[in-house]
Amino acid sequence: MANERQTAPQSDIKILISKGLEQGYLTYAEVNDHLPDDMVDPEQIEDIIGMINGMGIEVHEVAPDAETLLLAGQSASGREVDDTAAEEAAAALTALDSEGGRTTDPVRMYMREMGTVELLTREGEIAIAKRIEEGLAQMNTALASFPASAQLLL
C-alpha cells in the first residue's frame, strides 16, 4: 500500500517532466497541479523547480507564446522526450519528497526541529550553572538588604 502511494506521485512527476521536455517549458500552475497535495513547504517546492530548471525546462508564470519560444531558440513542438531522463528525475523528486517526510503529527514535527538544534557541551552546561548560581546569589543579597523582605522570609 505504501508502494502505491509512492508510485502515484512518481508517475505524476514523470508525466510533468515528459510534458516539460516535450514543450520546453512548464507553468507554475502545471507544477503545482502535479505535486502531491501534502507538499506545502516552499523550500521543497523551490528545490523541485530548481531540479526542473536544471533539466533545461523553464518554468514560467504563464505559458509563453510561440513567438517567444522561437526567439528563445526552441521550436514550438519542443524537443524529443527522453524517457530514462524523465524516470530518473521523477525518482529523484520522489526521493526528495519522501526525504522531507512532511507530516502534521506535532510530536514528529517537534522531534525533527529538535534534531537541528545543537546540544550543550559539558563546558556549556557548567557555564550556565555558574550563571544561575550567581543570579541566585545576587537575588538573595538584594532580598537580604531590604528589611521588609528579610522579615517576611524569616
pLDDT tens-place string over residues 26-75: 888 888 887 777 766 777 778 788 888 888 888 888 777 666 655 555 54
Residues 103, 135, single domain; the answer is no
| 99 burial type by CB count under 10 A (0-12 exposed, 13-18 middle, 19+ buried) | exposed
**What are phi and psi for residue 58, nearest 5 degrees?**
-80, 145
Domain count, the chain: 2
Chain position carrying cell 522579615: 151
Whether residue 129 sits in one domain with residue 55: no
| 59 and 11 assigned to the same domain | yes
The verdict on 18 and 57 lying in the same domain is yes
Q: Are 56 and 126 in a shared domain?
A: no
Is the domain of 37 the same as that of 100? yes
Same domain, 104 and 126: no
What would the pLDDT profile of 111-126 be if each residue is shown by its tens digit?
777 777 788 899 999 9
Q: Are residues 110 and 128 in the same domain?
A: no
Are 24 and 79 within one domain? yes
For residue 143, give its domain range: 122-153
Q: Is 8 in the same domain as 82?
A: yes
Domain shared by 106 and 129, yes or no: no
Most confident range, picked from 58-62, 82-86, 103-107 = 58-62
Q: Tell if the pTM clears 0.85, that is, is over it.
A: no
Which pairs with CB-CB distance under 8 Å and at least 24 residues apart come from 85-92?
A: 85/17, 85/21, 85/55, 86/14, 86/17, 86/18, 86/21, 87/14, 89/13, 89/14, 89/17, 89/51, 89/52, 89/55, 90/10, 90/11, 90/13, 90/14, 90/17, 91/10, 92/51
Look at the block and give the residue holding cell 515528459. Answer: 18
Residues 104 and 131 in one domain: no
